[in-house]
Copies of this chain bind each other. A is one copy, B any other.
């Protein structure tokens, strides 16, 4: 961990912050911890990011920009190739997120940061996420609604919230019931993705 070689100071700070935010939360992580883990000087955080709050935002932006694009690309392909089907839409939503957990460059820490962000009801953080990535949820919402003409808008949003919650906590592997690892990490991820897609399709179609 805390790999330093051939990464810029800025990138090392982002990586260390991501790891520590995942483990201790935003308020629970000090800039001193971040700079120590990143093996950079304390003053470097304020030089590169201006403040702790900006650093938090950058940790999100770095991953969410890519994740959002992957999801939307997959969504458009799904709708074009298999119109009217729920399963490919949910795959487009779920698989890019769970794939992050296999990322060797810190994505697995980021999914835990994401789970924390859900629990945070911090206004600034929520506004940042809503402003920058709300359009992704809206596009998925529309595509799913088109597959479920019998389900009202209110009920549909409830069910999408359930899926978002299930995905978030599945990604972070936060269940109280632990998965004893005989299967490899990658196999576990793929099984979870497949199970969540099935679970969600069934849930969305519930009478």
Contacts and interface: CB of A to CB of B under 8 A. Distances in A.
A104 to B, nearest CB: 20
Contact of A200 (B22, B26, B203, B204): B203
A25 to B, nearest CB: 6
How many copies of this protein are present in the complex?
2
Given A115-B119, A119-B118, A192-B158, A176 B129 contact: yes
Contacts of A179: 154, 157-158
Contacts of A163: 166
A134 interface: yes
Nearest to A27: B28
A31 to B, nearest CB: 14
Contact of A157 (B164, B166, B175, B199): B175
Contacts of A119: 25, 112, 115-116, 118-119, 172, 174
Interface in A1-59: 22-28
B176 A130 contact: yes
For the complex, would chain A's binding face be called helix, strand, loop or mixed by DSSP majority?
Answer: helix
B23 A25 contact: no
A3 B30 CA distance: 34
A155 interface: yes
A195 B23 contact: no
A106 B165 CA distance: 23
A174 B170 contact: no
Given A198-B207, A206-B199, A174 B169 contact: no
B169 A165 contact: yes
Given A158-B191, A165-B168, A134 B176 contact: yes
A165 B170 contact: yes
A121 interface: yes
Closest 8 CB pairs of A and B: A165-B169, A27-B28, A161-B175, A202-B206, A162-B166, A199-B203, A119-B119, A27-B27
